[in-house]
Amino acid sequence: MKNLGGNIKSLRNFMRKDPGVSGDGQRIEQLGWLLFLKILDASDRELELLKDDFVSVIPERLRWCNWAISEKGMTNGEKSLTGDELRIFIDQELFPTLRNLDTSTGNQRAVIVREIFEGTNNYMKNGTIIRQVLDSLNEIDFESSEDRHLFGDIYETILRELQTAGAYGEFYTPRALTEFMTEMVNPMLGETVLDPACGTGGFLTCAINHLRQQGIDEVRDLETLEKTIKGMEFKPLPFMLAVTNLFLHEIEVPNIEYIDSLNREYTSINEKCNS
């Protein structure tokens, strides 16, 4: 069995050596956007096999498999980016492009990527250390159901650490509580599940697991699940972590809005409820 926990521990130790990263909060944010891009790329490649017309919203050069891959995974003797070249690529090409991603087509995956990178920063300053982090991450295969399942437990541990990472504890609810509340509510397929302050997505993923235990096989059932699991979050870090959490739970397009659910007029809510 792979030691995925050891991989995560190694890359976080690498981050501690970088002069730009300070504290658990920044390390979790740094790990968050890296994981998001790697998991998104794995999801894109799966969809490319399943759907003839699927095109990734990430420009080809910026896809994880084209810039972050380890040198041993390269073909034709190509060299992987490292050092200053890698750092400059991330700061001057990757982040600016994803922050300004074209969303005019209404593609929700594009909207999610743009919103995440509008509120996210790269803190790492040492390109050689960034390469070590990438190589460690590349040991995890998110296209493997075994690796994805094992990593789900590790990701839960990472989210739990938000409780002690400065003021981020407000975004994590212990899983024993989310599982108990989900069991009591007992949502059924077709019912809308909404968490208007979803944090890192704990209640939503518990609802997904609960519904899958009822038996979901058909494509139509999966589409219903995707449409009816909804969340809202207005802080950048938990929004990114929640979206990644739903990708890990095999939700193709996480239905999470990057908004403040309380930032609306009460009269508009009443009018909608009474209509």
Tens of pLDDT along the chain (275 residues) come to: 467 777 778 888 899 999 999 887 788 889 999 999 999 999 999 999 988 999 999 999 999 999 998 876 566 667 889 999 999 999 999 999 999 999 999 999 999 999 999 999 999 999 999 999 999 889 888 877 777 777 777 787 777 776 665 555 566 778 888 999 999 999 999 999 999 999 889 999 999 999 988 887 777 888 899 999 999 999 998 899 999 999 988 899 999 999 988 886 655 555 544 44
Separation of CA 101 from chain center:
17
Tokens of 54: 């699927």
Tokens of 148: 């994805």
Can you give the pTM of this predicted structure?
0.86
| Residue labelled with tokens 């250390």 | 129
Residues 6+ apart with CB under 8 A from 240: 29, 32, 33, 36, 116, 119, 120
